[in-house]
Structure 1
Amino acid sequence: MIIDKHVHSPYCPHGSTDTIEKYIKQALQLNYKEISFTEHAPLPKSFIDPAPDKDSAMDWDSIPTYLEELQKMKSFYEDAIKINIGLEVDYIDGYEKETRDILGELGPLLDDSILSVHFLKNEDSYYCLDFSEDEFERIIGVFGGISAVYESYFSTLLKSINSDLGPYKPKRIGHITLVEKFKKRFPHTRAIQEYTDPILDAIAQKRYELDYNGAGFVKPLCKDSYPPMSIAKEAKKRKIPLVYGSDAHTAKGLGQGYEFMDKELL
């Protein structure tokens, strides 16, 4: 019985048109016990999406329909599977107040949520970390090297954990090694644990959960979980709850990576 608490939907601009019901039927075929739909929350209205295709998150106008549809599916399938209504919320350095306001508005309507870092700040500009390998290469140039990108990512991640985002701040931190999405093309010599140990310490101190994300296994330049199993074991040593997330953006993406992950950590 799989519990998957990181799933996207047709409301994602960079996802698929698979219906929410198609996701649910696929989840039932995979013997899911519980599923959280965690669509990318709308970005602060004053923030300009830095992704080249401007497709990082759902738009504000879609929120009522998203919530209404999920509520209907939740009720209809309640005897077959537990469905959670959620969002994946971006932590954006410098937009803490706006994010707190978003959570204050939407948080009471949710069953679940994730806090993730996709955007890095360099001087007064922002960059989308995981858009494409070519964009990642450009980011390396802007930041002045792969080490600078890693430093920026993990320092932003630490800020997200320690940030005051109000009472509805997500308590699960998403894909903490997303910076390694393209690591086979852009390898980094420093051991990843040197970056992740302070992150895990902060998560443990806050008593947050960790998204144990299988999506990296299907990324050709990653082929690993976010975080890798060795880091997941370090999290377990700190008594951090690990929660499987497929990070599926299509119905067929449900369950991705699960077969390669250490089930004893979940």
Structure 2
Amino acid sequence: MMNIYGDYHVHTPFCPHGSNDALSQYIEQAIAKGLTEISFTEHAPLPKNFTDPAPKRDSSMSWQDLEAYIDVIETVKTQYKTDIRINLGFELDYIEGFEQEVTAFLNQYGPFIDDAILSVHMLKTPDQQYVCLDYSRDEFQHIIHIFGSLKSVYEKYYQTVKQSIVADLGPYKPTRIGHLTLVHKFQQSFPMKDNFEAVTGRLLDLIKQEQLALDLNTAGLYKEDCQEIYPAPAIVHQAIAKGIELKPGSDSHQAETIARGFDQLKQLFA
């Protein structure tokens, strides 16, 4: 069985596509759920020379809020130090072609970071533009059209994840890969008939080789078009067999969903 002590993928009111719930609400919900640790992993600001491809340009926190984010997390660390361990973290976007900018961010802010996730949300298109993979069902359909097929979207996603795993992003590179099967988010509307088991197996081998961990993310369970955890259960079992560390995360963007679905995670380790 898996013993779950923390929620290691949590967003905050600094997220423009999240809620306005106060940090104290997230923390007190975590304590009420019996957790002893929480990682705030807000979407790090995107590179200044990169244009957010999401239709509402709301993928990440703003640069203007960065110092305030760090300050407020440090403040609640002190306020709740006898109740729960609080980690200051980020979810960083790996963006093909912007490795230098991501490395520069990590080099500057790495000393403040307790925990971090490296995720792929943005894909580089055949015409050298970028799209946001997980924005909406309609946007995903548009992305399929851009790439020519659903299979091509999957191939590009996993190719980009591979690049993120092996990328040299400096000494502060995140040690955990976020929602490995995020490309499944709209699978109920766009079912993938091709088998990517060999591809994901090789990714797991690389993750093991690079001594990285995996985000065991329950958010997909509550997405109408996904209805499964990230990574998919079969991949979780392979990761366990390979000895890869899995860290549970709710990917909460509101306080009430802290640790949501964690009861189902335990079944994977039975």
TM-score by length of 2: 0.96
**1:153, distance to aligned residue in structure 2 (A):** 0.1
Aligned counterpart, 1:194: 198
**Matching of residues 24-35 of structure 1 within 5 Å:** 24-35=27-38
* Cα offsets for 1:122-155 (capped at 9, x unmatched): 1310000000000000000000010000000000
Distance in 1, Cα, partners of 2:86 & 2:48: 29
Q: 1:167 aligns with which of 163, 166, 171?
A: 171
> Cα RMSD (Å) of the superposition?
1.2
- Does the CA contact (< 8 Å) of 1:4 and 1:36 recur in 2? yes
Distance in 2, Cα, partners of 1:38 & 1:46: 22
Cα separation, partners in 2 of 1:263 and 1:107, compared to 1, 3 Å: farther
**1:194, distance to aligned residue in structure 2 (A):** 2.7
**Matching of residues 71-82 of structure 1 within 5 Å:** 71-82=74-85
- Does the CA contact (< 8 Å) of 2:44 and 2:93 recur in 1? yes
* Cα offsets for 1:187-229 (capped at 9, x unmatched): 0012242331111010000010000100000101111000122
Distance in 1, Cα, partners of 2:98 & 2:189: 31
Equivalent AA in structure 1 for residue 152 of structure 2: A
1:150 aligns with 2:157: no
Aligned counterpart, 1:70: 73
- Does the CA contact (< 8 Å) of 1:38 and 1:114 recur in 2? yes
- Any unmatched runs of 5+ in structure 1? none
* Cα offsets for 1:214-252 (capped at 9, x unmatched): 000010111100012211110011110000010000001
Distance in 2, Cα, partners of 1:59 & 1:20: 18
**Matching of residues 93-108 of structure 1 within 5 Å:** 93-108=96-111
* Cα offsets for 1:2-41 (capped at 9, x unmatched): 3111000000000000011110011111111110000000
Equivalent AA in structure 1 for residue 209 of structure 2: Q
- Does the CA contact (< 8 Å) of 1:211 and 1:244 recur in 2? yes
Distance in 2, Cα, partners of 1:116 & 1:129: 11
Number of aligned pairs?
A: 266
Aligned counterpart, 2:235: 231
Runs of 4+ residues deviating >6 angstroms: none
Distance in 2, Cα, partners of 1:29 & 1:178: 29
Equivalent AA in structure 2 for residue 261 of structure 1: L
- Does the CA contact (< 8 Å) of 1:217 and 1:256 recur in 2? no
Equivalent AA in structure 1 for residue 234 of structure 2: S
TM-score by length of 1: 0.98
* SS of equivalent to 2:224: coil
- Does the CA contact (< 8 Å) of 1:229 and 1:261 recur in 2? no
Cα separation, partners in 2 of 1:161 and 1:154, compared to 1, 3 Å: same
Aligned counterpart, 1:4: 7
Distance in 1, Cα, partners of 2:224 & 2:216: 18
Q: Percent identity?
A: 46
- Does the CA contact (< 8 Å) of 2:11 and 2:18 recur in 1? yes
**1:264, distance to aligned residue in structure 2 (A):** 6.0
Aligned counterpart, 2:62: 59
- Does the CA contact (< 8 Å) of 1:242 and 1:265 recur in 2? no
Equivalent AA in structure 1 for residue 48 of structure 2: K
* SS of equivalent to 1:63: helix
Equivalent AA in structure 2 for residue 170 of structure 1: P
Distance in 2, Cα, partners of 1:225 & 1:194: 19
Equivalent AA in structure 1 for residue 187 of structure 2: K
- Any unmatched runs of 5+ in structure 2? none
- Does the CA contact (< 8 Å) of 1:229 and 1:262 recur in 2? no
Q: 2:185 aligns with which of 155, 158, 181?
A: 181
- Does the CA contact (< 8 Å) of 2:43 and 2:59 recur in 1? yes
* SS of equivalent to 2:41: strand
- Does the CA contact (< 8 Å) of 2:21 and 2:255 recur in 1? yes
* SS of equivalent to 1:211: strand
Distance in 1, Cα, partners of 2:82 & 2:179: 31
Equivalent AA in structure 1 for residue 22 of structure 2: T
Aligned counterpart, 2:225: 221
